[in-house]
Each structure stands twice: as C-alpha cells, then as structure tokens.
C-alpha cells in the first residue's frame, strides 16, 4: 500500500487532505482513483489507513478508516553525531541510517574534518539532506522523519544529554559495543559519536569521556566514516531488540 506523510493541519476528524507534490504524485504518477486505499503517517508515530474520496484540482480528500501505532519505529532513540565527511558521503550516511532506524543526525565539525563549512554554508545543504531523510523514511515505512540538525562545533555537540553516550574509537581494543549495551540495557536515548576521515583527536575523545561518554571498539577492522555509523547503529538496534 502506498504511504505518505501528512502534517497535523492536514487531518481534521476523519478527513485528510493532500496537496502539493504528494497530490501530483498520487494523481499523475501513481494514477490513484477514488476508492483506492493508502497509508498516511502523521510523523509522530501513528499510521492511518485511508480511502480516497475525491481528487480535485487543488487537493485530494481521503476518509480515514482506522489508525494504529507505526510498526517501523524503534523503541530506542539513537542520535548520530557524525564528524563532517568529504562531499557526497553525508547523503549515503543519512539515507542508510534513516532506513535502519536513526532518530536524528547532528553533523559535527571536528578537528580532522577535511571539509570546512560554516553553519551558514551548511544550511544550504541541510535542505537537501532533510529531503533525503524524508524519502528514506517514506521508503522504509518509518513512523517519523528523522531531523538533520544544524552544523555544530565539536564543543557544542557534546552538550546534549543522553541516557548513554557512545564513542567509536579505533584505539579502544578491550571494550565492545555489546558489553556496554548489556550493562546499560535500560538506556532509551542514545548518542553515537563517529569521527570524520582520520578519526577523532585524542583531546576530543577526552572531552567526550569527561562528559560521560563511553569509548568502544567496533571490531578488529578499521571502518570508513561512512561505514562506521551505519554498522554501529545496526549493532545497537539489533542488540536492543529493535531490528
């Protein structure tokens, strides 16, 4: 069944309204007709089964038949703090992480980031990145669209508080991700820090551990920055029963 995200202003009682790009996609691309069924998602974790009532020139009206919690949302919220990578890699990281179950992404300007953008320069890219997140969430049947946050300086990023803050550190050999999660299985809000190409500076790791973070190993092989976040996210959600 085709799936579309709607905002709260598009749902009134048992009637939903679709306009703009989704309206064009429904009528011109999918060629849906009155009586066809679709799934609507409010972006807050609820799905609605709806039947097309009418297709007008400015809006499509649908009758809401039933509602249920979205099945595609993990119970645990994982925020990825991604060291700003080289051009082109962020879209891949974002797309696949959203498909896996990411809650939000915070791009971080780390000391070893090759790409140096100002927050204003990044804002132009963030519009595109948010669209990538939207399309990935739609494809993966998520119950919400993960947010791409503004570019943060490293010191600002670690001020966010989580139940558990995890730091992927290639110099850590003894502590595994599984061991930490088994000891902190009660954590529902998790922060995951991944460095850019070249990893994190030791001063950055020290700042993170001082803020309560836990360094961990992702295994005996060194992963690229665009691989590490996705791999760690999949491990976290699998270990916590959310895959």
Element counts in the chain: helices (H) and strands (E): 7, 13
pTM score, whole prediction: 0.87
21 and 88 co-located in one domain: no
Which backbone phi and psi does 145 adopt, to 5 degrees?
-100, 110
What is the residue whose two structure tokens read 């665009």? 226
Edge-to-edge order in the sheet of strand 60-69: 3-5, 37-41, 46-55, 60-69, 15-18, 11-12
- Rounded Cα distance, 113 and 157, in Å: 15
* Single residue among 69, 96, 113 that ends a domain in this structure: 69
- Rounded Cα distance, 76 and 60, in Å: 35
Tens-digit pLDDT profile for residues 170-189: 888 889 999 999 988 789 99
Tens-digit pLDDT profile for residues 119-143: 888 998 999 999 999 999 999 999 9
Centre a 10 Å sphere on the Cβ of residue 201 and count the other Cβ atoms it contains: 14
65 and 82 co-located in one domain: no
Cβ neighbors of 181 (< 8 A, separation 6 or more) are 187, 236, 239, 240
Q: Give the number of domains in the chain.
A: 2
62 and 97 co-located in one domain: no
Tens-digit pLDDT profile for residues 19-73: 998 999 999 899 999 999 999 999 888 899 999 999 988 899 999 999 999 888 9
Tokens of 35: 């009586």
- Tell the burial category of 217 from Cβ atoms under 10 Å away from its Cβ (0-12, 13-18, 19+): middle
223 and 134 co-located in one domain: yes
């Amino acid at each position: 069944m085709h799936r579309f995200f709607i905002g709260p202003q598009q749902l009134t009682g048992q009637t939903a309204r679709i306009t703009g790009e989704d309206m064009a996609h429904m009528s011109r691309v999918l060629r849906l007709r009155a009586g066809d069924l679709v799934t609507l998602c409010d972006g807050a974790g609820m799905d609605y089964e709806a039947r097309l009532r009418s297709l007008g020139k400015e809006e499509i009206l649908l009758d809401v038949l039933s509602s249920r919690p979205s099945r595609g949302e993990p119970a645990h919220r994982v925020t990825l703090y991604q060291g700003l990578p080289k051009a082109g890699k962020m879209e891949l990281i974002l797309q696949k992480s959203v498909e896996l179950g990411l809650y939000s992404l915070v791009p971080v300007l780390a000391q070893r980031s090759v790409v140096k953008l100002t927050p204003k320069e990044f804002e132009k890219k963030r519009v595109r990145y948010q669209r990538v997140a939207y399309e990935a969430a739609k494809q993966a049947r998520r119950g919400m669209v993960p947010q791409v946050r503004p570019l943060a300086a490293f010191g600002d990023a670690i001020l966010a508080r989580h139940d558990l803050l995890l730091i992927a550190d290639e110099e850590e050999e003894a502590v595994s991700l599984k061991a930490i999660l088994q000891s902190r299985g009660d954590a529902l809000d998790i922060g995951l820090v991944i460095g850019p190409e070249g990893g994190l500076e030791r001063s950055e790791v020290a700042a993170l551990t001082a803020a309560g973070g836990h360094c961990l190993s992702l295994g005996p092989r060194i992963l690229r920055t665009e691989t590490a976040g996705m791999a760690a996210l999949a491990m976290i959600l699998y270990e916590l029963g959310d895959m």
